Amino acid sequence: MTNQDLLAIAKEFESPVYVYDAEKIAFQYNRLKNAFSEIEDLRIHYAVKALSNISILKYLNSMGCGLDTVSVQEVMLGLKAGVAPKDIIYTPNGVSLEEIEEVVELGAQINIDNLSILEQFGAKHPEVPVCIRINPHILAGGNAKISVGHVDSKFGISIHQMPLLLRIVENTGMNINGIHMHTGSDILDIEVFLRASEILFDAAKNFKNLSFLDFGSGFKVPYTAGDIETDIEELGEKLTHRFKDFCKDYGRELTLVFEPGKFLVSEAGKFLARVNVIKQTTSTVFAGVDSGFNHLIRPMFYGSHHDIHNISNPEGKQRFYSVVGYICETDTFANNRRIAEITEGDVLAFSNAGAYSFSMASNFNSRYRPAEVLWYNGKAHLIRERETFEDLLRHQVVIDLETITSE
């Protein structure tokens, strides 16, 4: 995808618009597969919540990728995309027993992350195989906002509760077929991840009928040139070795599962927004774009960095800009960032806009959610239309105040 391709997309589909490069998604998928090529049975389940467009799900599934889902609705989207139920793992937290039962009906693999529901579910459906999500109490990354494996986290069953867990499994006679962990979003230190894996292996030894071990995700991708990222190849080498040893001890070949979201789609995505206004104040030059945290909330929500390029004037002289949105809230995308000289009307491309970008968009300020385009085989394909005024009205019930009388 060249700048010219992106500009043509902004022209044809207007701005703001999300663009995803299919080739980059395939590249990441194959990179992860290759890193674990020594594993007999590796399954990659794409975390739908990162980017849930059905065409993206279909595309990943066409390469052999399964899905990791966190709601019954994501399971339904996966089925709609043609993914087989057996290739869908359902890893919710804090959902009702009823929702889990709905997903059992749909045929996806259930993963339970708390003892209360585990006990209720086991008592009612002892025949349904269940995976258990443990919390190894290891802080994988430096960012507490996105780490979910540490001691105070609401995610997973504490490994310290293993005796209680085992008692529930025994009393209900339920069938545990997998053990799962998902420690957080940023694996920076492979040794830390391997330590968490040891805890998973330890937990796994307690169960006789396992068919898979699910190591979740947490692969860090680079956000800018020179940024740190998870060394997938090193992880592949070390974990493969350890996993094989474990299977030998366990007495059976198990499936190794990963659930990457960000790793597969983050870098494939670009968000294109047009500059409405350049506003010079005494200390800052603001570039105001036709977007805001209603479309891309990560910079404001997580403090994430997204590279921003002026694709209308890529060779222009570098100047400092604060890139802000048009929402009536502070919605700063970037503070005093060096960007090629911007003129009103220019198109800015935000990098790493594939994961947790469109999927976290809202209608705040009654703005439409943007269109989405898949760049596939050298051509742009619309995979979601921009919303219209009708979408804002849909489901609103306009009551007739005149006809309502008080008793």
Ligand X SMILES: *Cc1c(COP(=O)(O)O)cnc(C)c1O
Cβ-proximal residues to 295 (8 Å cutoff; 6+ apart), any chain = 16, 271, 273, 325, 357, 358, 361, 367, 369, 370
Nearest one of 129, 179, 181 to 155, comparing CA atoms: 181
> What span, in angstroms and rounded, lies between the C-alpha atoms of 130 and 309?
46
> What span, in angstroms and rounded, lies between the C-alpha atoms of 228 and 185?
13
Tell me whether residue 70 or residue 97 sits nearer to ligand X (CB atom): 70
Establish whether 302 is an annotated binding residue. yes
Smallest gap from Cβ 323 to ligand X, in A, equals 24
Give the residue nearest to ligand X (CB). 261
353-382 footprint of ligand X as x/- string (CB under 6 A): --x---------------------------
> What span, in angstroms and rounded, lies between the C-alpha atoms of 379 and 373?
10
- The first and second tokens of residue 190, run together, are 């492979």
Residues 127-166 that bind ligand X (CB under 6 A): none
CA–chain centroid gap for 261, Å, is 4
Establish whether 218 is an annotated binding residue. yes
Q: Alpha carbon of 337 to those of 43, 64, 291, 308: distances in Å?
A: 40, 40, 18, 8
Stretch that binds ligand X, among 31-39, 46-54, 318-326, 390-398 (CB under 6 A): 46-54
- The first and second tokens of residue 225, run together, are 């040139």
- The first and second tokens of residue 358, run together, are 């469109």
Stretch that binds ligand X, among 29-37, 71-79, 201-209, 259-267 (CB under 6 A): 259-267
Question: Which of 16, 141, 261, 325 touches ligand X (CB under 6 A)?
Answer: 261
Nearest one of 339, 319, 320, 322 to 331, comparing CA atoms: 322
First to last CA, the chain: 65
Question: Which of 42, 50, 75, 311 touches ligand X (CB under 6 A)?
Answer: 50
169-198 footprint of ligand X as x/- string (CB under 6 A): -------------x--x-------------
Say how many residues touch ligand X, by CB under 6 A. Answer: 18
262 binds ligand X (CB under 6 A): yes
- The first and second tokens of residue 187, run together, are 């694996």
> What span, in angstroms and rounded, lies between the C-alpha atoms of 167 and 163?
6
Q: Which helix (H) or strand (E) holds 386?
A: none
352 binds ligand X (CB under 6 A): no
Cβ-proximal residues to 354 (8 Å cutoff; 6+ apart), any chain = 20, 25, 50, 51, 265, 266, 267, 268, 269
Residue whose pair of structure tokens reads 């993206």 in the numeric block: 56
Tell me whether residue 32 or residue 324 sits nearer to ligand X (CB atom): 32
Smallest gap from Cβ 46 to ligand X, in A, equals 9
Q: Tell me, yes or no, if 328 is annotated catalytic.
A: yes
Establish whether 329 is an annotated binding residue. yes
74 binds ligand X (CB under 6 A): no
Smallest gap from Cβ 34 to ligand X, in A, equals 18
Question: Which of 263, 271, 321, 333 touches ligand X (CB under 6 A)?
Answer: 263
Question: Which of 135, 217, 291, 294 touches ligand X (CB under 6 A)?
Answer: 217
Which active-site residues does the annotation give?
328
Interacting residue ranges for ligand X, rule: CB under 6 A = 47, 49-50, 68, 70, 91, 182, 185, 216-219, 259-263, 355
Annotated binding-site members for substrate: 298, 302, 329, 356
